[in-house]
Chains A and B, each alone.
Chain A
Amino acid sequence: MGIFSRIKEGLKKTRDGFFKNVKKLLSFDRLDENTLEEIEELLILSDMGSETSQEVISALRERTHKGRNPTEVLKDVLTEILDIPYEQKTGKPYVISVVGVNGTGKTTTIGKLSGLYSQQGKRVVLAACDTFRAAAVEQLRVWSDRSGVDFISQGQGADSAAVAFDAINHAVSKGKDVVIIDTAGRLHTKSNLMEELKKVHRVIGKAVQGAPHEVLLVIDATTGQNGLIQAAKFKEAVNVTGIVLTKLDGTAKGGIIFAIVKELGIPVKYIGVGEKIDDLKPFKPSEFVEALLSNDEESSEEV
């Protein structure tokens, strides 16, 4: 199965529940105001937010001319929002810090990422810097066993910056390629916890030039409008370089990423479509939108 169909499979429920209806609407050859309103409703139901939805609708209205298929126009509009350029830093070891609010899927994503990098022949070190939540260290250890990568921890209650420092030194001395830092879930409103995260990043920066090279903010696809505030606050604190959108195997649509990318200019880099080690896919804007809107057999049967 190709990657594209696997993404589609992961998104199947999403598409069936939601964009199937859009397609039905877009089979109209003219977009009257009623149809636009219904599309706007569906966009809002995807968690896109009313502001972003209205902008998409305006663009759709402006760009739909005679002879242009409205579905294609909508695809273009949506893809253009998500398709933003970004720079990819390099480094050895390449240090990735994974951050976000509680329970979004950070540790699981790290497990999957370590699998992905190992498959590419990279030598990975995982750093158990969530020293707060019960059994967070154990959880990450299980993932390091699954992917067969190095695991650095100082147990629960340890100083997370010290663990990060330890892991990077281990990587430097053993010539490892990638260090992935698991941080504790924290709400962006808790200034002491956000300060602690900044400290971890300062220590990382001192240990390796330019690190962390990647700061991934994990957003749960079920998240509503609070996702935009989360992204803004984490960006402000630790300069997020990419979003991972998890739990797309459910029925939630993850529409908040449109607002995040548009308002904050942070690109989406991966999507999570399950709890297994290979359930992480690189994010491709056109594929994402295409998979959502695509006209394959199952959905055409249903229409």
Chain B
Amino acid sequence: MFENLQDKLGRAFRLLSGKGRISEKNIEEAVKQVKLSLLEADVNYKVVKEFINGVTEKSLGEEVLKSFSPDQQFIKIVRDELINMLGERSSPLRLSSQPARIMMVGLQGSGKTTTSAKLATLLRKEGKKPLLVAADVYRPAAIDQLVQLGKQIDIPVFTGDRRNPVVIVKEAMQQAIKNINDVVILDTAGRLHIDDTMMSELKEIAALVKPDEILMVVDAMTGQDAVNSAKAFNEALELSGFVVTKLDGDARGGVILSIRHVTGKPVKFIGVSEKPDGLEVFYPDRVAGRILGLGDVLSLIDKI
């Protein structure tokens, strides 16, 4: 079941070797394997369809280069198309306000609170002086969780009245100015994108603080529905980007492609452990092979 895409493509392409040109007929099987591989990686079905059309179009009529075997050439086309869809470069944070404001949002349990602490750690390394704000008054012990994380990493946490997220956030901004914090990270409660009351709360907070960054935190194991939640959060809040967490497991992370494609917003960071230092800048090319289930083939292609 979890047979390598490379093996499958190899088989599909035995038919193709010796032919000078890729044609619709002879890549049919290879295209099907790529499609199944992307679905297995949880890329959204509709995104897969578009992707496959793009790849087929690009493959057709292309001369098979001498230095490539046909399967390598096909994989290269697939890889390039994937990176094209993921965005070429990493996307740094844009923090221009004084103090800068980062708002973390997302579905329940995706990793917002943990990522807030990780981001604070990362920014401090860059010489910043962050303030964490506990604006989740709903989940049991959510405030304690952030307070404890703050203690672990020695970064202050503002808790305010522990009752009203909008009031907490308002007071936190004053506190940041008083204490000369140059970046404020708001941890908000997890919520469903179809919960209108809770989504309005986020809009109210965003209107109040005018965040430099609104990052939606998405679990790497998410399946087909990710496009719906990402779209809804983006429509409500105009996201600036995503953080995809839990990539230290074996999820293929097809969700990265889906959310980028449906919102046009970049993934800025990935979460790779439960610890405060487990946050990395996202590089699209490094995740392409993982999504495709291609292992090391891609680095080989890079060398050719």
Beta-carbon contact of B255 and A250 below 8 Å: no
Q: Given A224-B224, A250-B194, A250-B229, do A103 and B144 touch, yes or no (CB 8 Å)?
A: no
B41 touches A225 (CB 8 A): yes
Q: What residues of chain A lie closer than 8 Å to B248, measured between beta carbons? A: 187, 189-190
A102→B223 CA distance, assembly (Å): 16
Segment touching B, from A28-36, A41-49, A91-99, A289-297: A41-49
Question: Is A252 within 8 A of B108, CB to CB?
Answer: no
Cβ of B250 within 8 Å of any chain A Cβ, yes or no, is: yes
CB closest residue in chain B, given A256: B223
Cβ–Cβ contact A45 & B224, under 8 A: yes
A251 CA to B149 CA, complexed, in Å: 31
Residue contact A224 to B223, C-beta cutoff 8 Å = yes
Chain A interface: which size bin?
A: 35 or more
Structural contact, B39 and A229, CB atoms closer than 8 A = no
Whether the Cβ atoms of A41 and B107 lie closer than 8 Å is no
Cα A102 to Cα B228 with chains together (Å)? 22
Cβ of B71 within 8 Å of any chain A Cβ, yes or no, is no
Residues on A with C-beta less than 8 A from B144 are 134-135, 138-139
B255 touches A142 (CB 8 A): no
Segment 176-219 of A: residues with Cβ below 8 Å from B: 187-190
CB distance from B268 to the nearest CB of A (A): 20
- Which single residue of chain A is at the shortest CB-CB distance from B253? A226
- Contact check, B223 vs A133: say whether CB atoms are below 8 A apart: no
Which residue from A104, A136, A187, A225 sits with its C-beta under 8 Å from B223?
A225
Closest Cβ neighbor of B251 among chain A residues: A226
Residues 216-255 of B contacting A (Cβ, < 8 Å):
219, 221-226, 228-229, 246, 248-252, 254-255
Contacts of B139 in A (CB 8 A): 139, 275
Contact with A along B25-67 (1 / 0, CB 8 A): 0000000000010011110110000000000000000000000
Answer whether residue A222 sits at the interface, using C-beta atoms and an 8 A cutoff. Answer: yes
Assess whether B110 is interfacial by the CB under 8 Å rule: yes
Nearest CB of chain B from residue A212's CB, rounded to whole Å: 23
Distance in angstroms between the alpha carbons of A111 and B140 in the assembled complex: 11
A226, B109: Cβ atoms under 8 Å?
no
C-alpha spacing A135/B113, complex, angstroms: 11
| Residue pair B109, A104 in contact (C-beta under 8 Å) | yes
Asked if A134 and B251 make an inter-chain contact with CB atoms under 8 angstroms apart, the answer reads no
Asked if residues B108 and A247 are in contact (CB atoms below 8 Å), the reply is: yes
Whether A62 is near chain B, meaning CB under 8 Å from some CB there, is no
Contacts of B255 on A, CB cut-off 8 Å?
224
Instruction: Say yes or no: is B1 at the interface (Cβ < 8 Å to chain A).
Output: yes
Pairs A-B, 4 closest by C-beta atoms: A224-B223, A103-B109, A224-B42, A142-B140
Binding site for A on B (CB under 8 A): 1, 36, 39-42, 44-45, 107-111, 138-142, 144-149, 152, 192-194, 219, 221-226, 228-229, 246, 248-252, 254-255, 274
23 pairs of residues in contact across A and B, judged by CB atoms under 8 Å: A44-B45, A45-B224, A47-B225, A49-B40, A50-B39, A102-B109, A102-B274, A103-B246, A133-B274, A134-B152, A135-B142, A135-B147, A139-B141, A142-B141, A156-B148, A187-B246, A222-B219, A223-B221, A225-B41, A226-B252, A249-B192, A251-B229, A275-B108
